[in-house]
Amino acid sequence: MSSAIKKYWPQYKWSNVFAMINNMRRQPTRNPEPFCDRLVVLTGATSGIGYYTARKYAAMGAHLIMVNRNREKSELVRREIAEEFGTPAEYIIADLALLEDIQRVGHCILSREKPVDVLIHNAGLHLQSRQETGEGLEVNFAIHYLCPLLITRMLMPKYQRDRTGRIILVSSEAYRFAVWGLDLEDLQWKKRRYSGIKAYGAGKLAQILSMHTLARELAPYNVTINAMHPGMVQTESGKDNGRLYQWYKRNIIDKYSASPEVSAEALYYLGASPKLTHTTDVFFHLTTEEELTPPARDLQAAEALGKRTRELLHEEGVAW
């Protein structure tokens, strides 16, 4: 920790914090152009940001593949989109904390003939206490980092063939809570006391660091990848946490939060605007470009994270 403080502390700037605060007051830039017959893959589309984003893309003419956990809710959203907008929508049922399901989703998308014009990694959660999957992975780490990383890497052959696509990571300003970077020896919080907000921030920081590596690998295929903070909006994140968190969310967070429609407008702009055709490896606060903190710009840390991830996945029997 002391070495990380020495490394990052001199690089921190108050202007970075002030810029973030100013960006909180901004409304997203909107894109009025349609997106007819384009294919959009979206995870976590039955509620909150994902639900409104699915509706926005459908309203603009896009075809949808939604990746969700709940079949009944997925069918309701699919039927709603078909009846209201007359655009094709389908879904894949998967638990995106499980490596087996993540790989199944990747194979399913990989098999499609139609190019994936936009891939939005939106699925997420907030946990107050550490939870493990049946495979022994910390849930927050699996959903926020491993899931988007593995699906994106599995689609590399498709991107290489189709030579088009945009990938958007629904990130969070909470990555800033990983002030001194990642603990590569304890990525899954087995050794340290679990902190919900710190673990969430670390998962989002890992996600951002992976963006730098993926951007470089995707560049030859004319595919871009960017991350965005979706604004302070009402979501169901943390709905299974304890009573204290539920009270705080209901009376503080939700009270001062905007509708997820704001996030949907931003995600549509980032995915469909012609102005961003060649923009990659950028963090947006809604639709405003924002400078990352020192740990999130650390390319050596990104490389070290990739190496540690390969080792972890090898232990789980998953090909990189």
Q: Which residues are catalytic?
A: 200
Partners of 170 in beta bridges = 228
Cα dihedral across residues 195, 200, 204, 210: positive or negative: positive
| pLDDT in single tens digits along all 320 residues of the chain | 678 889 999 999 999 999 999 999 999 999 999 999 999 999 999 999 999 999 999 999 999 999 999 999 999 999 999 999 999 999 999 999 999 999 999 999 999 999 999 999 999 998 989 999 999 999 999 999 999 999 999 999 999 999 999 999 999 999 999 999 999 999 999 999 999 999 999 999 999 999 999 999 999 999 999 999 999 876 655 454 445 445 544 554 555 567 899 999 999 999 999 999 999 999 999 999 999 999 999 999 999 999 999 999 988 888 76
Of 162, 264, 159, 172, which is closest to residue 214 (Cα–Cα)? Answer: 159
Partners of 67 in beta bridges = 43, 92
Cα separation of 141 and 188, whole Å?
A: 6
- What is the topology classification, in CATH, of domain 2-7+27-315? Rossmann fold (3.40.50)
94 within 8 A of 309, measured Cβ to Cβ? no
